[in-house]
Amino acid sequence: MISSSSAGAGAGGNSISGKQPRSGSTHQAQTKWRTGAQERIYNRRLIEALRAVRGARAVKDAADSALALTARGQSRWSRAILVGRLRRRKLLVKAGGKIRRRRRSRLPVKPAEPAALKEGKVGERLRALGRLVPGCRKLSAPSLLEEAADYVAALELQVKAMRALADALSAAAPPPEGSPAAPDG
């Protein structure tokens, strides 16, 4: 999935994408999201995405999409986000060649998804976690945990970037519209 997604993703070699062995995926996820390069990439993408957005929901979607993009489609949740955006946009459905290809390549790599993978409290928690992480509803425990780790790292990055951006914007530019937002910068 990584290789396919990388091929599909194409440009942007800043991230630690590439053929990474599944075995070290967890460590890679950790290193991948911890690097400042990833942060910068995401920051840039976030800014660009936010430029043309209006509305809180759009902002969130834009941020999520930017985050998913930064993931370079290497994780299931990022692909799920992107695909969701595509569908919503409709326009990308037919043109989503690359994304579609990515998805198709991912299909064969279907993870073992026993519906009732684990019973009991652990199983409950796992299912709840699957609902939280986009695109990971039915996933086996190890892959779900992997995706969750990647997602958590990405979320942390997102929160950090958005917070910095919000603070910078609210502090840098005095609100000309007198919006009550960002009192604390």
Binding mask 145-164 for another protein (x = CB under 8 A): xx-xx-xxx-xx-xx--xx-
Would you say 9 or 108 has its CB closer to another protein? 9
Among 19, 90, 110, 115, binds another protein (CB under 8 A): 90
From residue 137, give the alpha-carbon distance in Å to each of 103, 111, 127, 130, 134. Answer: 16, 12, 7, 4, 7
The two structure tokens encoding residue 104: 């198709």
Q: Nearer to another protein by C-beta: 73 or 108?
A: 73
Q: Fill in the DSSP letter of residue 133.
A: S
- Which tokens hold the place of 45? 């993408």
For the chain, the first-to-last Cα distance in angstroms comes to: 41
Residues 48-87 binding another protein (CB under 8 A) are 48-66, 69, 72, 82, 85-86
Report, in Å, the least distance between residue 21 CB and another protein: 14
Q: And the tokens for 24?
A: 């070290």
Least separation in angstroms between CB 90 and another protein: 7
User: In the range 126-145, which residues lie near another protein by CB under 8 A?
Assistant: 126, 128-129, 132-133, 141-142, 145
Site for another protein (CB under 8 A): which residue of 107, 115, 116, 172? Answer: 172
Q: How far apart are CA 63 and CA 61, in angstroms?
A: 5
Q: How far apart are CA 76 and CA 178, in angstroms?
A: 41
Number of residues that bind another protein (CB under 8 A): 81
